[in-house]
Amino acid sequence: MGQIQLSRDGNKFAATCNNGHNELFLADFDRCTGILSNKTKLNIPIQQTDKNSTGLCFSPNGRFIYTVNYTNIQQYDTWDPDSSTAWYYVAGIDTISTYFMGYSMGYLGWDDKLYIGNWNGLGKTMSVIDSPDNKGIGCSWCPKCMRFPDTLGGATNPPCQPNYNLGKDTSINCWPVAVENTNTRSESLLVYPNPTSGRLIIRGCNIDAPKELYSHSGQLLLRTKENELDLSRFAKGIYILRCEGQVRKVVVE
């Protein structure tokens, strides 16, 4: 196992895999195209011969990445170009008992704290990093600080939840997720009949302007200067028509 995470702003990608190589993969992530760039592979410092990289998590501001191994947790400073000083050892085994339930995965909570679980889900606690935006000891590691009243199966591993508050990319060049800014026109884009079983009439943009039809997932299906389209060859569903920066939803039934 391993873990893949995006930074809170959605612009940074990180991944690790429990394959014995103890590596951290970093890249910039384009939310509009889904393309990874500036890809980097780093070696996670080996502590107590532990090469089992099980998880990772970004700090709220995206500066730090916390890598989770079976027996230790470390902090990586993405702003530090010197690999010899970029790493900080946060924690090791958090118990003196014979049996230690190794660290598993980490997730960023909406209270800006990091929550780190343990394997097998038989415990009643999770560990917490209270100030993950702080470097080094200032991150405030708190072992077994989140306690549950009873053993609840996998409750001791944080839930995997997407960032519901991130929202869409509103940059001008990201379409159809976002609509680009355009000058106000006296006539807005009109398409009819809508829904349609085939014929679609387009009004409200220049006659010679290109009309583009996209699938609901953003794939360009048709580009033409015609003002009447025959959509009978397309499957039933929702499509997006774009002309001179104006966008309309088209339903084929």
Q: Count the domains in the chain.
A: 2
Tally of CB atoms within 10 A around 207: 8
The residue among 53, 57, 77, 78 whose CA lies nearest residue 66 is: 57
Tell me what pLDDT residue 183 has.
44
Tell me what pLDDT residue 8 has.
92
Could you tell me if residue 164 is inside a domain?
no
Same domain flag for 19 and 80: yes
Tell me what pLDDT residue 250 has.
93
Does an H or E element contain 174, and which? none
List, for residues 144-202, the tens digit of each pLDDT value.
888 777 765 655 667 777 787 787 776 656 655 434 444 444 458 899 999 999 999 99
Share of residues in the chain with pLDDT > 90 (%): 49
Same domain flag for 109 and 36: yes
Domain span at residue 26 reads: 2-156
The residue among 149, 112, 105 whose CA lies nearest residue 3 is: 105
Give the domain CATH number at 221: 2.60.40.10
Q: How far apart are CA 13 and CA 39, in angstroms?
A: 9
Q: Which residues contact 60 (CB under 8 A, 6 or more apart)?
A: 8, 108, 112, 132, 133
- CA dihedral in degrees (197, 201, 202, 203; nearest 10)? -140
Mean of pLDDT over the chain: 84
pTM over 0.85: no
75, β-bridge pairs? 66, 88
Same domain flag for 149 and 207: no
Residue 249, pLDDT above cutoff 80: yes
